[in-house]
Amino acid sequence: MITLTASSTALVLIDLQNGIVNRELAPRSGAEVVAAARMLAGRFRTAGAPVVLVHVDWGPGFADAPQGPVDEPMPRPEGGLPVDWSRLVDGLEHPGDLVVTKHNWGAFFGTDLEVRLRRRGVTGIVLGGVATPFGIESTARQAWERNFAVVVAEDVCSAPKAELHEASVKGVLPRIARVRKAEEIQLVRVCDSFLLTLIHIENKIGTSTEDVPPWPLPASRN
């Protein structure tokens, strides 16, 4: 179990969009990832924590896609991508969610994600989405390099192949993040965190929380 403060932690969901989640994925289908993401996002919203929905858009004629030569270039269908390719899956976005459009694997480079998180007092993120070795890992690397505390919800992620997912969650992500199941991630509000501290004090010194004032007492003027 890992306990995170809701006011300083954001859920960042990567590329849960029509053109990606409908592809063949492993070890979980796109539908399974979306269902798990909905549940986790609901917990964050209930706790008052920010939910960020990131989707990738390559632009007309792939004008916004990375152009460098590679051994295995991504497919670029003639005529471009379907009009709804970059659209978030239906029902994922709720009022108050932050939506970020990226043009790379990682969600920080070339976007306003960092400034929007910083201005909300966010110091840590929980990641989920598709694909584990691409969008998730790239975003985790960029967040770690920016001194965000990173948690990856492993069962809210998937990849084109199961072995790619496993290589990332076992070989790379543990060096830049904490990898947990969604059920192992606990969110607490500031007031709840304060109460947990009092309970910890009680357990340590044997004092009832009823005997501990809720706030520091003002200094005497005498």
Amino acid occupying residue 24: E
pTM: 0.85
Q: Which residue would you say has higher pLDDT here, 198 or 78?
A: 78
Query: pLDDT tens digits for 32-54?
Result: 999 999 999 999 999 999 999 99
Regarding the domain delimited by 2-65+82-188, which CATH topology (the fold level of the hierarchy) does it fall under? Rossmann fold (3.40.50)
**pLDDT value at position 212?**
47
* Residues 4, 129 contacting (CB under 8 angstroms): no
Please state, in angstroms and rounded to a whole number, the distance separating the CA atoms of residues 80 and 98: 27
Q: Is the peptide bond before 27 cis (omega within 30 degrees of 0)?
A: yes
Weakest-pLDDT range from 42-51, 104-113, 137-146, 210-219: 210-219
Q: What is the structure's pLDDT at 210? A: 53
What pLDDT does residue 196 have? 56
Strand residues in the chain grouped as ranges (E)? 2-5, 9-14, 51-56, 98-102, 124-130, 149-158, 178-180, 185-188
User: What confidence score (pLDDT) does residue 73 get?
Assistant: 87
Instruction: Indicate if the pLDDT at residue 113 is higher than 50.
Output: yes
